A and B are shown apart, each in its own frame.
Chain A
Amino acid sequence: MDVLTVKNLTKKFKNFIAVNNISFSLKEGEILGFLGPNGAGKTTTIQMLLGVLTPTAGAIKYFNQDFTKHREEILEQVNFSSTYTKLPWRLTVRENLTFASFLYQINNRRARINKIVKIFKIERLINQAMSELSAGQLTRVNLAKAFINYPKVLLLDEPTASLDPDVADYIRHFLLEERRKFKVSIIITSHNMAEVEEVCDRVIFINDGKIIADDTPDGLAKTIKTSHVELLIKDGLKRTIEFCQNRQMQYVLEGRYIVIDVVEREIPVFLRELMDKGVYYDEISIDKPTLQDYFLQITRKT
């Protein structure tokens, strides 16, 4: 069942088209990565999905209800967290969460706040003002606010930015658990491609306001044909470089290590040709293409 349907969504700012006629849907319990280079139209789309930016054209439906007509009922079941939006800095964590709990009319407010601060490991910070918190702590408070109303749909803008790796990992597992237990549907924007590959079922890639790809992270990565072949050259580094230059192959050199982009199915032939040229290597590793490669390919084209 689709919990969100977007049809022909467009946003124009004077002569500039920020979002150009995009359509997509989000299924119940699905985690959707919303990716694209800076200025691609991700934030503009998220803002329209949250009702804080009026679309120029198009329709947004949550739970089969028109967003403009049923804004209140819909937003009671939706929430949002962004590393880049702030909560009042003079208020304490508890005051901010209390405000949110009243806004969403949460039953057993105190119990919910106590539970949510435990989940996000911010119990020790509960009586501290927001101005006293570090960037990572602020991100966790923002996430706690986003989960306070048991949302059915969550929009998360860079949810793990500025978090320590262990906390970021904990949050990713928490998101996956929430999806498993409560079928929460989540849209994530992130610049951490490894994170997107780990948690997202599907990825929408947006560029210049248009959707240019909609597939699984694996599916997108597979569209990249080249792998990275890393060699520790024992003998013949100069010959290897010449070989790459003659074939116009991309490579990066670091000491005696060389990383060469090679079309996946041509790797055996490539290695044999290197040996024929008298190149010897001590180590070899082959990295298959990732979502990161897909992202880089798209951004390099633009």
Chain B
Amino acid sequence: MKIHRIYAVVLRFLFLFRRSYDRISDAFYWPTIDLLLWGLTSVYFRSIMPGASRVILVIMSGILLWIIVWRGQYEITVNLLEDLWNENLINMFVSPLRFIEWIIALIVIGIIKAFLSFSFAMFMAYLLYKVKIFFFGYYFIPIILLLIMTGWWVGFFVAGLILRFGTKVQTFAWTMVAVISPFSAIYYPLSILPNWAQIVAKITPTSYVFEGAREIIARGSVSPDKLIISLVLNVVYLFLSLWFLRRSFKKVLEKGLVKVY
């Protein structure tokens, strides 16, 4: 594995980011809209239910933390799509670039963009509602790590589907992560989900993280079990998604990299 090749791919994505107003607006526009919509909604709820003082904090932390999952997944799949739309995969893979180097570059760019969007949203949350996300303390690090891992495995799974079936399934790049959001209990406790959905939530790693985040807001601490279960599930899914992506890439090489459009 060569750092200069990973750097090359990251650099190219940053060049693209700089020149793509749609991608720049993606990174900042939607977080702002979410913060405005949900923030004002929770301000309204707090005004009619004075007892629900934590509602803004729960909603805001939900929005901010979901940005991590969303950006992690979105960057992997949309950057792959960008290469497919540009018909550029062949130019990359006739070079010495290895598959694993390309994957690592996608991860790095996902982290950079997630950091950008998250920092911007944090700033906006403070500006608009005086909400500071750092009340999570040391838990902030594992929470971020677990959420971005979820973003990665969803991203790799969707990337595998796109490689296998081409751009006709590209809509998954924007929609797939939303499938797990109801089971992640971002804004509400797991207990309000119907029984069948609670079973699905049990195998959804993000549900443990958001439950844990609400525990921190309520009690100032979280049971480590929740974070450990989320980590185990994330690691398993990450391996499975990477295996699937690798297999899809091999399949693509069997029919020819230029034919994946």
Contact = CB atoms under 8 A, between A and B. Distances in A.
B225 interface: no
Contact of B257 (A52, A95, A104, A105): A52
A24 interface: no
Contacts of A254: none
A13 B253 CA distance: 12
Given A86-B86, A95-B12, A129-B19, A80 B94 contact: yes
Contact of A103 (B16, B20, B96): B96
B258 A85 contact: yes
A13 B255 CA distance: 7
A56 to B, nearest CB: 9
Contacts of B255: 13, 53
Given A53-B253, A88-B82, A102 B11 contact: yes
Contact of B254 (A54, A85, A129): A54
B256 A90 contact: no
Contacts of A53: 253-257
B96 A76 contact: yes
Nearest to B98: A72
Which residue, of A75, A99, A105, has the highest number of chain B Cβ atoms within 10 A? A99
Contacts of B83: 88
B215 interface: no
A75 B94 CA distance: 7
Interface residues of A, number: 33
Contacts of B258: 47, 52, 85
A279 to B, nearest CB: 55
Interface residues of B, number: 33
Contacts of A274: none
Contact of A51 (B12, B20, B93, B250): B93
A72 B96 contact: yes
B15 A99 contact: yes
A139 interface: no
Interface in A90-135: 90-91, 95, 98-100, 102-105, 129
Interface stretch (B2-10, B25-33, B190-198): B2-10
A40 interface: no
Interface string B52-87: 000000000000000000000000000000110011
A91 B8 contact: no
Interface string B243-261: 0000000100111111000
Interface string A174-211: 00000000000000000000000000000000000000
B171 interface: no
Contact of B253 (A52, A75, A80): A52
Contacts of A91: 12, 15-16, 19
Nearest to B257: A52
A75 B256 CA distance: 17
Interface string A128-152: 0100000000000000010000000
A44 interface: yes
A75 B95 contact: yes
Contacts of B12: 88, 91, 95, 99
A270 interface: no
A256 interface: no
B75 to A, nearest CB: 16
A79 interface: yes
A71 interface: yes
A237 B8 CA distance: 68
Given A91-B12, A102-B8, 19 more contacts: A47-B257, A50-B94, A52-B94, A53-B256, A53-B257, A54-B253, A72-B2, A73-B96, A87-B86, A87-B88, A88-B83, A90-B20, A99-B8, A102-B5, A103-B5, A103-B8, A103-B92, A103-B96, A129-B19
Interface of A: 13, 44, 47, 50-54, 71-73, 75-76, 78-80, 85-91, 95, 98-100, 102-105, 129, 145
- Please provide the 8 A-B residue pairs with the shortest distance between their CB atoms, ordered closest to farther: A102-B8, A52-B257, A75-B96, A103-B8, A72-B96, A99-B12, A53-B256, A50-B94
Interface of B: 2, 4-5, 7-9, 11-12, 15-16, 19-20, 82-83, 86-88, 90-98, 250, 253-258
13 contacts: A51-B93, A51-B94, A52-B257, A53-B257, A86-B86, A86-B91, A90-B16, A90-B20, A91-B16, A91-B19, A95-B12, A100-B95, A104-B95
